Copies of this chain bind each other. A is one copy, B any other.
Amino acid sequence: MSLPMYQEKNKVPFNQIKYVVGVAAGKGGVGKSTLSVNLARAFQQSGFQVGIMDADIYGPSLRRLLPESQMPMKRGELIVPADCSGIKMISMAFFRKDDEAAVVRAPIANGVIKQFIQQVDWGELDLLIIDFPPGTGDIQLTLAQEARLTGAIMVTTPQELAVMDVRKAVNMFQQVNIPIVGVVENMSYFQDGEEKKYLFGKGGGDRLAREIEVPFLGEIPIHPEICQRGDQGRSIFEAEEVGIQDYFKKISENIWAELNRSKGILDYEFIQVDSHTFQLTRADGEKMRYRLSDLQRFCPCAGCVDEVTGQRKKDLGSVDDQVKAKRVEQVGRYGLRIDFTSGCSNGIYSYDSLFVTG
């Protein structure tokens, strides 16, 4: 008998994807969508299988930047993503009218995002790019917790005002243990003949990368063709004379190198030992065994621990040694949520706490 793990249930949508990468900024209008699409093109040109999830429920723009050659389809319980010149894509834009205001209350938006994570059959992919919505609210947190990201790429423009918001998004990813792959600076300068004109400040991306100690993945200059072609749904990768695509190519190579370098450092494996025990193996080989009753005793859920005082509400001796789990669920790369047969189901055990206190 094995514990019904989240990743088992989820095998179809996400398990054939090598890397899942978020493109995020905290802020809107810094060029996340443009970067996502052009990185996808760059990876595709290098021979990779690529998918993009447009996670902006309120302002989905990827469909315009990368029009579909085939619409998404329903196959049983799953959604087959659209085919956009060989890149797989899913976006809210496929499911409602163009100008309609998505005045969607947060729980509904969250539901859509969960569907995008659990019910899209991406098939085999080298890379899934998730284009994050602006902000650090509900949807962003749900994505960070549930989409099992390999890492996040932070996008900023050079000015301090943008960097400020990006810092907040970095902070959010750090809270849920998602590694930052690196920083990309967009709209870095305008190349005017020989001269570089810094229209939106200078050096914010590089400064941010140093500050949070991650690689600076590269900069993208302002170029009228990026906007113009984007608006028309044409790719700058088909305009050899422009040369602007080389910036995206270089950044895609840096990202791929980083992903391979850090591969697996945050991966954990489970083995079911018996119905009351499981074993957790960290990528560095370190192993820990847990008896479910021991974990139940230190359950961090609101029913077991007073949220204000931190005091334990239940007597440790009252836990049944034979307690089992109905389900063990991975929460992002952050930890485990255990649904005990005793009724506790909301406590999250972070991997950090499991390997320190276990």
Contact = CB atoms under 8 A, between A and B. Distances in A.
Give the number of times this chain occurs in the complex, counting copies: 2
Interface string A120-154: 00000000000001111110110000000000000
A162 to B, nearest CB: 7
A228 interface: yes
Contacts of A137: 58, 102-106, 109
Contacts of A29: 27-30, 134, 157, 162
A213 interface: no
Given A29-B28, A104-B137, A161-B65, A231 B59 contact: no
Given A61-B164, A159-B230, A201-B227, A171 B101 contact: yes
Nearest to A158: B227
A89 to B, nearest CB: 16
B168 A101 contact: yes
Contacts of A141: 103
A26 B106 contact: no
A159 B227 contact: yes
Which residue, A101, A106, A134, A138, has most C-beta atoms of chain B within 10 A?
A101
Interface string A195-233: 001111100000000000000000000111001101100
Contacts of A190: 190, 197, 199
A199 to B, nearest CB: 5
Contact of A135 (B61, B135, B223): B135
A160 interface: yes
Given A29-B157, A64-B160, 14 more contacts: A29-B30, A58-B137, A58-B165, A59-B135, A102-B136, A102-B137, A103-B136, A103-B172, A135-B135, A160-B231, A199-B223, A199-B227, A200-B224, A201-B228
